[in-house]
Amino acid sequence: MLEKLTNWSRKRSPWVFHINASSCNGCDIELVASLTPRYDIERFGAVLVPSPKHADVLIVTGVVNAQTRDRLRRVYEQVPEPKHVIAIGACAAAGGVFKGCYNAGQGIQDVIPVDMFIPGCPPRPEAIMYGVLKLLGEVK
Amino acid sequence: MSTPPNQQRREESAGLMEYSTESLVPFGPIHPALKEPEYFKLVLEGERIVKVIPRIGYVHRGLEKAAESRPWVQNMYMFERTCGICSFVHSLCYGQAVEELTLYQVPRRAKYIRTIIAEMERIHSHLLWVGLMGHWAGFDTLFMWVWNDREVVLDLVEAISGNRVHKSMNAFCGVRRDMPENMEDRIVERMKFLTDRARYYRDVIDTEETMLKRTENIGRVSADTAEKLCAVGPMARYVGLKRDVRLNDPYAAYDEVPLDVITTTQGDVHALLRLRLDELVASANMVTYAVKNLPDGPIRVKIPPIIPAGEHSSHCEAPRGEIFYFVKSSGGRTPERVKSRQPTMANLPTALELLKGQTLADIPVVLTAIDPCFGCMDRMSFYDTETNRSWTWSGEELRQYGINYYFPERSKKQHGLTKGDGPLTNRCLRDGF
Amino acid sequence: MSETLSQLGKYAEEAGTKVTSLRKNESTVEVSQDRLKAFLAHLVNDVHVRHLMTITGLDLGQTLAVIYNFSLERDTIHVRTLVPKAKPVAASICDIVPGAVLYEMELHDMFGIEFVGNPLKDQKLLPPEEWPADLPPPLLKTTKADQIRRRLGLEAAKP
Amino acid sequence: MPVKKTGAAVPEMFRFMLEKPSTEAYPFKSIQLPQRFRGKLDIDPAKCTGCQVCSLVCPASVITMVDLGTRKVGDRELKIRRPLFDLSTCIFCGECVDNCAFNALELTKQFETATPNKADLLMNKAIVK
């Protein structure tokens, strides 16, 4: 019973921590744009929190390089269970246009497990909203 | 990052143990809200910053190396994705450097379309920055308003190019898409709306106490220092240097479109706010003029995939300042060498100079002031050199600290931090950070 | 070519080199390593070409070229000097142009050129911290991107 | 310290209270996308000839050519090749669409492509009969 209630409240108010793993800023500004009045993802209870320790959902943008790889792993470890990871953008999903650069990986799933990919370069704020809601099971 | 300090950091702070008044503050590299991860080592004396050592490279991907193995056209899309905010001007600058190596001329209509997109990009970037400035100064209302107005210009960009951020408009010797039909009236009307809003925001920043207190007399640097440190863009213009590539070395259609270069000598963060809002109005006027006087003709000249040997450089005025591309070709399908320099790299020495002598509470505002393309304001680990204890603040907590420092009455109940409450370190330890 | 540039041309001829015009507004000067600092001091202090846009490195096979890209209003001036690849040491120009600090650090990271006199030359600016010490600098033509990726462990773990 | 005088932001605040909200009703209502919107890539398998120009121009190496056996043209045996798209790494630049001589490719307005499984983003329409 209590578990059901916790799950319900978790679904109603996902707290999001955003980490930029060597992204070009394009996905990041679209993520912030989805918080602003036009799109307002806070309608669904999603809040950007400043610390990974408070977060339910970790949003990762950017192609991971050798410098941010360990930081990403450490941030992931700090997110309490149950945790979900959303990869925004082509870079986070598979390396995007930076595939083959000497200091760029091929997507964040090589570093941490990913629950949802939102492809796009960058995805529209609506696409980000769709991905977050799909993760929560609100839309099919 | 709130993991235990690693060995290197321990050694660094151990070196400072001899001077008990100084503390070392590693600053970065992960930030929750927006910016790219960067890392600064700050040496503090009480509240004041004495020295800053940058460590960039968290976003280093190795584009210049990758460019040497990719065809010329594909490089354009890669360099466009150097930065998501000033993406168009990167491809424009790289494209211009390559165009100079070929003997083809860019059609006049394409030059005008390039100018329109570049100026729209400047409008959106400046609005973004004003919003962020509001956010970091503790004035979130401004952030929400400005970002809502920013959607207006993004809609126009999307209608022209098909994407809100990475326009992918440029091709060598031309642009890939023509202006849509019947857009003229819509653009002129929206530009008028944005001009009105920018004037209104000038009123807001000049009268609202929240903004005035956080920005006036903060982040001062002399014109001579800025010139010596090779500052570019708004960071040069706000101390009175008339450094603007659009004026000095006109590219695209800037020699035909009436250009208004704004400089000020007020020289603080507040001046930067006014300067960027004024520039926004000037850009809106340029877009209006360019749309009304758009010449007819072709938009693109097709060029062969092999670029003649030679080397050439090009510079353009991005929203943040001058960007520079150097291209060397050996007459093949791929470049021999491409060098790109972003405005933040040029402005970083000035930013470090600005930070010196500022208090901890001003870091978010001052670092945002240079409009960093990276610039991370988060996850500050604090080390008390006396007890060797460390703790971490997130960017949000740092922002809160800044707000409390200036407006103690607003949130005393939150942390109990007030101005003049003894040395920072002791206070934070007591409050359990 | 503007007046300042022709003035510079005279000085360059006295110094035993000359200003070559690449294109309109763009010229290049080749200066030897030992004359470089005197030349740049003249450029910055007397001709007032103060804005250093960046420092570009080039791998020319046996040698490395270091190009100081200056701009003065409409003109772009590339001051070019050669550094042997076997012993990549150059003098820092931070005392003449303080804004050159980060560009020199970048060149040190990318080409392995050591700038004597740079205040931050022991710091790493761009490459990751776990960069192996025996790996050659990335932008040399002999270094391959795949080789670096393998050493940094960025090769994707494909099933 | 109390705020002494009101700034220019206050009247605007009241004005916004009276206006209708600027928030879009997405996902409860579909959104209006501009004509040129660059969304998910689509291919018309009937038009594709397997000329592999798209795989050569792609900056993000989205497209790999897959061999589907051979066919006889006169005396010669020609390989049949068709493109396989890995849309997870696509940057939606439209370079392949511009360069396709047979108009087989187009960028649709589909943007709701989020998926938990990366394999969903493989577009093998041209390969599977």
**Does residue D17 lie within any of the structural domains?**
no
Please tell me the predicted confidence (pLDDT) of residue B139.
86
Q: Which residue of A17, A22, A29, A103 is the best one to mutate when testing the B interface, meaning the one whose CB has the most B CBs within 10 A?
A: A29
How far apart are the C-alpha atoms of A29 and A40, rounded to whole Å? 14
Q: How far is C125 from chain A (nearest CA, A)?
A: 12
B254's tokens:
């800037």
CATH class of B63-341: mainly alpha
A110 interfaces chain D, CB cutoff of 8 Å: no
Contact across the interface for D111 and A127, Cβ inside 8 Å: yes
Confidence of residue B56 (pLDDT cuts 50, 70, 90): confident
Residue with tokens 């009101």: D6
What's the average model confidence in pLDDT over A108-132?
91
Buried b (16+ CB within 10 A) or exposed e, D35-46: ebbbbbbebeee
Q: For position D67, which CATH number holds?
A: 3.30.70.3270
Please tell me the predicted confidence (pLDDT) of residue B26.
61
Please tell me the predicted confidence (pLDDT) of residue B187.
94
Is the CB of residue B85 less than 8 Å from the CB of residue B122? no
Look up residue D13 and give its amino acid.
M
pLDDT tens per residue across span B3-27: 444 444 444 544 444 444 666 666 5
Does D1 have pLDDT greater than 60?
A: no
Q: Tell me which chain C residues have a C-beta less than 8 angstroms from the C-beta of A67.
A: 128-129
**Of the listed ranges A115-129, B75-89, B375-389, B410-424, the one predicted with least confidence:** B375-389
**Does residue D87 lie within any of the structural domains?**
yes
Residue B36 per-residue DSSP state: P
Is the CB of residue B71 less than 8 Å from the CB of residue B79? no
Q: Which residue of A15, A17, A20 is the best one to mutate when testing the B interface, meaning the one whose CB has the most B CBs within 10 A?
A: A20
Please tell me the predicted confidence (pLDDT) of residue A139.
59
Is the CB of residue B201 less than 8 Å from the CB of residue C71? no
Does B417 have pLDDT greater than 80?
A: no
Please report all neighbours of D, defined by 3+ CB atom pairs within 8 A: A, B
Look up residue A79 and give its amino acid.
V
pLDDT tens per residue across span D88-110: 899 998 899 999 999 999 999 98
Please tell me the predicted confidence (pLDDT) of residue C2.
64
First-last CA distance in chain B: 13
**Of the listed ranges A32-46, B7-21, B147-161, C33-47, the one predicted with least confidence:** B7-21
Confidence of residue B366 (pLDDT cuts 50, 70, 90): confident
Q: Tell me which chain A residues have a C-beta less than 8 angstroms from the C-beta of B165.
A: 26, 29-30, 122
Q: For residue B330, give the chain C residue with the closest CA.
A: C60
Confidence of residue B353 (pLDDT cuts 50, 70, 90): confident
What's the average model confidence in pLDDT over B359-374?
74
The average confidence (pLDDT) of chain B is 79
**How many other β-carbons are positioned within 10 Å of the β-carbon of residue B43?**
18
Please tell me the predicted confidence (pLDDT) of residue B375.
33
Interface of B with C in 190-229 (CB under 8 A): 227-229
Please tell me the predicted confidence (pLDDT) of residue D123.
87
Q: Which residue of D13, D26, D38, D117 is the best one to mutate when testing the A interface, meaning the one whose CB has the most A CBs within 10 A?
A: D26
For chain C, list the domains and their CATH numbers. 3-122 (3.30.460.80), 127-159 (no CATH)
Please tell me the predicted confidence (pLDDT) of residue B133.
87
B181 interfaces chain D, CB cutoff of 8 Å: no
Query: Rounded to two decimals, what is the model's pTM?
Result: 0.88
A100 interfaces chain D, CB cutoff of 8 Å: yes
Range of D53's domain? 32-123
Of all residues in chain B, the percent with pLDDT exceeding 90 is: 33
Q: How far is D111 from chain A (nearest CA, A)?
A: 6
First-last CA distance in chain C: 61
Does B327 have pLDDT greater than 70?
A: yes
Handedness of CA D68, D72, D76, D82 (dihedral sign): negative
**3-state DSSP call for residue A137?**
coil
Does B106 have pLDDT greater than 80?
A: yes
Contact across the interface for C145 and A102, Cβ inside 8 Å: yes
Q: How far is D61 from chain A (nearest CA, A)?
A: 8
**Does residue D128 lie within any of the structural domains?**
no
Q: Residue B98: phi, psi to the nearest 5?
A: -75, -40
Does B55 have pLDDT greater than 80?
A: no
D22 interfaces chain A, CB cutoff of 8 Å: yes
Contact across the interface for C128 and A66, Cβ inside 8 Å: yes
**Of the listed ranges A38-42, B366-370, D48-52, the one predicted with least confidence:** B366-370
Could you tell me whether strands A57-61 and A15-20 are parallel, antiparallel, or unpaired per DSSP bridges?
Answer: parallel
**How many other β-carbons are positioned within 10 Å of the β-carbon of residue C70?**
23
Does B195 have pLDDT greater than 90?
A: yes
C-alpha distances out from residue D18 to B150, C70, D7, D14, D22, Å: 21, 55, 19, 7, 12
Please tell me the predicted confidence (pLDDT) of residue B38.
66
Please tell me the predicted confidence (pLDDT) of residue B389.
40
**Does residue D85 lie within any of the structural domains?**
yes
Is the CB of residue B424 less than 8 Å from the CB of residue B360? yes
Interface of D with A in 34-53 (CB under 8 A): none
In chain B, ranges of CATH 1.10.645.10 domains: 63-341
Q: Does chain C touch chain B (at least 3 C-beta pairs within 8 Å)?
A: yes
Q: Which residue of A69, A99, A102 is the best one to mutate when testing the C interface, meaning the one whose CB has the most C CBs within 10 A?
A: A102
Interface of A with C in 10-39 (CB under 8 A): none
What's the average model confidence in pLDDT over A117-128?
91
Of all residues in chain B, the percent with pLDDT exceeding 70 is: 76
Please state the domain count of chain D.
1
Confidence of residue B116 (pLDDT cuts 50, 70, 90): very high
pLDDT tens per residue across span C77-131: 899 999 999 989 999 998 899 888 888 988 888 898 999 888 877 777 777 777 8
pLDDT tens per residue across span B282-326: 999 999 999 999 999 999 999 988 899 988 889 999 988 888 999
Please tell me the predicted confidence (pLDDT) of residue B421.
37
Task: Note whether ipTM > 0.90 here.
Answer: yes
**Does residue D50 lie within any of the structural domains?**
yes
Q: For residue B140, give the chain D residue with the closest CA.
A: D9
Look up residue B108 and give its amino acid.
R
**Does residue D27 lie within any of the structural domains?**
no
Q: Tell me which chain C residues have a C-beta less than 8 angstroms from the C-beta of A104.
A: 154
Q: What is the secondary structure of B252-318 as a DSSP string? A: TTTTTS-------S--SHHHHHHHHHHHHHHHHHHHHHHHHTPPPS-SB----SPPPSEEEEEEEEE
Does B383 have pLDDT greater than 50?
A: no
For chain A, list the domains and their CATH numbers. 20-134 (3.40.50.12280)
D88 interfaces chain A, CB cutoff of 8 Å: yes
Please tell me the predicted confidence (pLDDT) of residue C126.
78
